[in-house]
Chains A and B, each alone.
Chain A
Amino acid sequence: MASTMIRTSGLTRHFTVKKRTVEAVRGLDLNVEEGELVALLGPNGAGKSTTLRMLTTLLRPTSGTAEVAGRDVTRDPRGVRSRIGYIGQGNGAGHSQRARDELLSQGRAYGMTVAAARARADELVDSLDLGAVADRVVSSLSGGQRRRLDIAMGLIHAPELLFLDEPSTGLDPQNRANLAEHVRRLRAEHGTTMVLTTHYLEEADQLAERVVVIDHGRVIADDTPARLKAAHAGDRIDLEFDHEHDAERAEARALGIAEGAETKRTGTRLEIRIDGGAQLTPKLLRGFDEAHIPVASVEVARPTLDDVFLNLTGRSLREEITGADSRERAA
């Protein structure tokens, strides 16, 4: 029987910034079962990294409790630490160290014998394709190689639960795909429970079996990507007409054909949101044809997690991220 890997109750963290209290995480209740692959998704500052830092004992909760791998993060942090793996945002390996040396000392840190650490390091060097660089100094490794080394270090003790904090930030598309493949393989071969934070919608969508959407320190949605999209965002049909009055007539007609559709008209454009949009489109087009409304173009978009976020918060996650990134660059 699967056991619960993470159980939090009212997990809360406040920070004091310039005498003001910032509630980074507010009363988080989260259960993760053995073998789950969960993504914490949210904009920058939503509280997902703070949550992860509490779960990995890097930060003490202000209130509430968290049990990770059967140990309480406050009462038995060492018990938690020895059972989890962690791949942080930065480089886990010291830049002046050689890659293999770091793998060995990481193994020793988790109480492995020298022989066991050596054997395991060899295994990981092979499976993560680090053979060519294992005996080089970390600072001479490329970004992708360092990331693979980080993964190897996080896995040295074969943890039952692995945390990944923004694992693909700063990776090019190829290395991102590479990382996703490793995560999937880990899941398939070892059944490792994994919790990752991300603000990449595609990553959460493609990788995770369960997405926990966090905003302003609270969980606002928690389900599989498919069910989240079904529940919170329909398909989007984008139609373009030659004339504005065509668009007007089409809107009225569409509402007659597709019950419960949401429509939005801007000039000659008409946007229709509805479940099963792909199936409905032929019917709609026939309807427009019968009413002699010429359609210039049509496009059907499947909902994304961004649509889910937009629906839940009224804000676009994609815009929040680009906005936050440019603010960070400006700062």
Chain B
Amino acid sequence: MTTFATDTATVFSRELRPVLRDPFSVIFSMLQPLLFLALFAPLLPDTGDGSALQWFVPGIVVMSCLFGTSATGANLLFEIQTGSHERMLVSPLSRPALIVGRALKEIVPMFAQAVIIVLVTIPFGFELHVGGALVALVILALFCVGLGSLSYTLALAARNKEWTFWAVQQTLLFPLLLLAGILLPIDNAPEWLRVASHLNPLTYVVDAERALFNGELVSATVGYGLLAAAVVGVLGLWIGTKVMRRASA
């Protein structure tokens, strides 16, 4: 008999396998963040000490996770349409494992993409603090798992209406991205925008990523980022599990 852990491992490795078989898909799905990096980074103010790049790169790492992970539900949507999701629902796989395994897999491309972004920017003067970067990726992983789970939940809710999935995903993606201050700092924004930014959990994650990638390991910023990511992670998995249970009851 299988357990929740073995079931999660089964779903996780099934999801991961196409990525491992075709590693270029990881790069292909981060085309947008790489474009932002190439076309936006040259516009950054020349601060002389390279601090602009130190500020910008962690944001792009988060953006890459955001783009890839928020769209991942499309894979499930497709499997709902083709029938392979149904086949898995008839199998004895635990219902929570069906979503947890999928969501956990998001960590792998996220990690690979972060490594690529860092490697690409080091020649341009990005300074890597390995310890901080690793903690940053742990926090981002928590966020990723939650966001991935929410994306799958959206796919379950949208079911056969593919446009609903993309409409909701796109509508949420850009406000989330811009309000988190990924491309431009929010500091000088009008009051209402700053309030909106503070309500966005992603803001805290981005701030923590910046602190950590710059080697600042222990601070309130990091603590808030960890908390926000953990809340998104737990909430995402909880909602996802609930919806997956209902989808097959």
Contact = CB atoms under 8 A, between A and B. Distances in A.
A89 B90 CA distance: 13
B48 interface: no
| Interface majority SS (helix, strand, loop, mixed), chain B | helix
Given A94-B84, A98-B21, A86 B14 contact: no
Given A58-B248, A94-B79, A95-B78, A109 B17 contact: no
Nearest to A94: B84
B13 to A, nearest CB: 7
Given A94-B82, A111-B2, A88 B87 contact: yes
Given A86-B90, A109-B93, A111-B92, A92 B83 contact: yes
Contacts of B88: 109
Contacts of A105: 10, 13-14, 17
A50 to B, nearest CB: 14
Contacts of A78: 92, 94
A112 to B, nearest CB: 9
Contact of A91 (B75, B82, B90): B82
A102 B86 CA distance: 14
B13 A58 contact: no
A214 to B, nearest CB: 21
A58 B247 CA distance: 9
Interface of A: 56-58, 60, 78, 81-82, 84, 86, 88-98, 101-102, 105-106, 108-111, 150, 153
A82 B249 CA distance: 16
Given A90-B84, A93-B84, A81 B91 contact: yes
Nearest to A95: B82
Contacts of A106: 87, 91
Nearest to B97: A109
B84 A92 contact: yes
Interface of B: 1-2, 6-7, 10, 13-14, 17-18, 21, 75, 78-79, 81-84, 86-94, 248-249
Contacts of B249: 60
Contacts of A56: 90
Nearest to B1: A111
Contact of A109 (B79, B83, B92, B248): B92
A172 to B, nearest CB: 19
B82 A84 contact: no
Contacts of B78: 95
A108 B10 contact: yes
A91 B92 contact: no
Given A106-B91, A109-B93, A90 B14 contact: no
B87 A153 contact: yes
Contacts of A60: 249
A145 to B, nearest CB: 15
A88 B89 CA distance: 11
21 contacts: A58-B86, A58-B89, A78-B92, A84-B90, A86-B90, A90-B84, A91-B83, A91-B84, A92-B83, A92-B84, A92-B87, A93-B87, A94-B18, A94-B79, A97-B17, A97-B18, A98-B21, A105-B13, A106-B87, A106-B91, A150-B87
B84 A109 contact: no
Contact of B18 (A57, A81, A96, A150): A96
